[in-house]
């Protein structure tokens, strides 16, 4: 059920401020969500002031700068720093994005950074994605086919068939979409969320897959699919320019069409 | 791990985003319109209750308070109508690209304002005529 308030152990306290050095000419402030599982205390928001010239280009550069020069206990995920691994997804100034490809030039003097919304927090900016991955696994994101593959080559597709799955298959599972979705916030226990549904769609329309009917059966449920109310936050924030909202609409259409 | 805190959601997510705004307004206007049905039921019951009850109901319904409520319902109707059409188009699989939904959000705002302006003008004109004792 929708609970609009944060539970008691999740309410945010005032944090500490790490001032920029006196000599700093231009200051940028980063207000960052902190949670230390070992302290037993509620989360807080710390302020880190950096000399603007030392922040680097991207939000991730600034986070690394903070970690290496101000507070080494700051925890966040990162890997590729070029928008392909999806590790550094977080809520930056109110929108879910990848820190590594979010330019500081597009943000104000003050940058607010929180973990992906409505997720259990492991530490600081690191959410627990166990459930999210389990939902992805639940749509069986692999090829289901009775027909054996040709012995001498791969299962072939036409160019047009490939192009259909080109975009949906480019999902990096960063979870920006699912955690931007209010329906997912309130019903993530039963609603699969945009990322898992985009993956389901990608396999339903794959010309080599033979289990479309079975995949559609699995989604025909008041919660798994139909909690999508086309709010469009998913498509709005996808850092890879994919379109989970359209994928979900297409699945709904297929379910209606196969009834007639 | 039951004691993991829940990351903030409503309090940090950008609420003045076209996606969130159009969706929550659609919900809100839907609720307003449902509540407005009570007014309709009251009017129907009065009509069924005979000439006297109907005359009394007309008196109540033409009061300033009900005129304000009526304007609010017209505003809710204007928005909800176009938002519903937008959803209908989406459900057909069209207009779901980011750029398209941004544009249709603007279109929705403008169209509903225009419709509301028209309906409100018509209502006020009607009240002015009724107030002057003109043809009902």
Number of domains chain B is built from:
1
Mean pLDDT, all residues of chain A: 96
Strands annotated E in chain A: 13-18, 27-34, 44-51, 89-92, 95-98, 110-114, 121-123, 126-127
B60 within domain boundaries: yes
3-state SS track over B102-133: HHHHHHHHHHHHHHHHHHHHHHHHHHHHHHCC
Residue A37 sits at the chain B interface (C-beta within 8 Å): yes
Of A94, A233, A246, the CB nearest to B19: A233
Nearest-CA distance A226 → chain B (Å):
12
Residue B10 lies in a domain: no
Q: Is residue B8 part of a domain?
A: no
Residue B103 near chain A (CB below 8 Å):
no
Interface membership of A31 toward B (CB under 8 Å): no
The arrangement of strands across the sheet holding A13-18 comes to A13-18, A44-51, A27-34, A110-114, A89-92, A95-98
Q: Do A118 and B87 touch (CB under 8 A)?
A: no
Q: How many CB pairs under 8 A join A and B?
A: 109
Quick one: pLDDT band at residue B136, thresholds 50, 70, 90?
very low
Cα dist. A67→A32, A53, A125 in Å? 12, 17, 12
Helices B98-131 & B18-48, crossing angle to 10 degrees?
Answer: 30
Give the model confidence (pLDDT) of A238-251 as tens digits: 999 999 999 999 99
CB–CB contact A94 B23 (8 Å): no
Is the pLDDT reported for residue B133 higher than 80? no
Residue B7 lies in a domain: no
Q: Do B9 and A12 touch (CB under 8 A)?
A: no
Sign for the CA dihedral angle at B107, B110, B113, B115 comes to negative
* Average of per-residue pLDDT values in chain B: 93
Chain A window 92-121: which residues touch B at a Cβ cutoff of 8 Å?
93-95, 112, 114-121
Nearest C-alpha neighbor of B130 from the set B46, B67, B68, B73: B67
Residues of B in contact with A230 (CB under 8 A): 23, 87, 90-91
Domains in chain A (CATH in brackets) are 8-127 (3.10.20.30), 130-257 (1.10.1060.10)
Checking ipTM against 0.90, whether it exceeds it is yes
pLDDT bracket for residue B11 (50, 70, 90): very high
Query: B3 to chain A: which residues are within 8 Å by CB?
Result: 9
Residue in A with minimal Cα distance to B89: A249
The domain containing residue B29 runs over which residues? Answer: 18-131
Q: What is the pLDDT of residues B20-43, one digit of tens each?
A: 999 999 999 999 999 999 999 999
CA pair distance A243, A227, nearest whole angstrom:
17
**Residues of chain A neighbouring B12 (CB-CB closer than 8 A):** 91, 94, 112, 114, 117
In terms of CA atoms, which chain B residue is nearest residue A8? B5
Q: Is residue B105 part of a domain?
A: yes
Q: H or E segment at A218?
A: helix A212-219
Query: Which B residues 26-65 touch A at CB under 8 Å?
Result: none
Do the chains contact at B14 and A114, CB–CB below 8 Å? no
Angstrom CA distances, A227 to A124, A137, B58, B104, stand at 30, 19, 42, 22
Mean pLDDT on A125-142: 98
Cα distance from B85 to chain A (closest Cα, Å)? 13
In a domain, B97, yes or no: yes
CB-based contact, B20 to chain A, within 8 Å:
yes
Any idea what the CATH number is for the domain that residue B24 is in?
Answer: 1.20.1300.10
What is the C-alpha end-to-end distance of chain A, expressed in Å?
34
Number of C-beta neighbours around residue A69 at 10 A: 12
pLDDT value, residue A58: 97
Query: Inter-axis angle of helices B18-48 and B64-91, to 10 degrees?
Result: 130
Q: For residue range A139-185, what is the model confidence (pLDDT) as tens digits?
A: 999 999 999 999 999 999 999 999 999 999 999 999 999 999 999 99
Q: What are phi and psi of B78, to 5 degrees?
A: -60, -45
Distance of CA A60 to the CA centre of its chain: 16
Does the pTM of the predicted model rise above 0.80?
Answer: yes
Give me the mean pLDDT over the A132-139 stretch: 98
């Amino acid at each position: 059920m929708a609970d609009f308030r944060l539970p008691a152990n999740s309410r945010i306290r005032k944090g500490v401020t790490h001032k920029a050095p006196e000599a700093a000419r231009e200051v940028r402030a980063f207000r960052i969500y902190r949670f230390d599982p070992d302290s037993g205390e509620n989360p807080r928001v710390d302020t880190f002031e950096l000399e603007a010239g030392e922040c680097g280009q991207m939000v991730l550069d600034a986070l690394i700068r903070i970690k290496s020069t101000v507070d080494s206990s700051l925890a966040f995920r990162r890997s590729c720093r070029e928008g392909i691994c999806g590790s550094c997804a977080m809520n930056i100034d109110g929108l879910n994005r990848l820190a590594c490809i979010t330019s500081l030039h597009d943000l104000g003097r003050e940058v607010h950074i929180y973990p992906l919304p409505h997720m259990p927090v492991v530490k600081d900016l690191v959410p627990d994605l166990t459930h999210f991955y389990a939902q992805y696994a639940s749509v069986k994101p692999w090829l289901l086919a009775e027909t054996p593959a040709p012995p001498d080559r791969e299962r072939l597709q036409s160019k047009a068939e490939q192009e259909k799955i080109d975009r949906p298959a480019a999902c990096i599972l960063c979870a920006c979409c699912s955690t931007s979705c209010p329906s997912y916030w309130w019903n993530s226990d039963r609603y699969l969320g945009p990322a898992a549904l985009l993956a389901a769609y990608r396999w339903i329309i794959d010309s080599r897959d033979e289990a479309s009917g079975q995949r559609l059966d699995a989604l025909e449920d008041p919660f798994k699919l139909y909690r999508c109310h086309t709010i469009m936050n998913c498509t709005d924030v996808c850092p890879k320019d994919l379109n989970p909202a359209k994928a979900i609409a297409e699945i709904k259409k297929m379910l209606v069409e196969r009834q007639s | 791990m039951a004691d993991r805190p829940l990351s903030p959601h409503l309090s940090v997510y950008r609420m003045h985003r076209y996606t969130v705004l159009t969706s929550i307004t659609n919900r809100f206007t839907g609720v307003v319109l449902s509540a407005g049905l009570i007014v309709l039921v009251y009017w129907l019951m009065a009509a069924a209750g005979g000439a006297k009850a109907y005359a009394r109901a007309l008196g109540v319904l033409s009061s300033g308070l009900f005129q304000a409520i009526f304007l609010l319902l017209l505003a809710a109707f204007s928005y909800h109508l176009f938002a519903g059409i937008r959803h209908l188009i989406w459900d057909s699989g069209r207009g779901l690209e980011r750029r398209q939904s941004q544009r249709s959000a603007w279109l929705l705002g403008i169209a509903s304002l225009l419709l509301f302006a028209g309906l409100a003008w018509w209502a006020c004109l009607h009240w002015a005529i009724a107030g002057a004792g003109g043809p009902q």
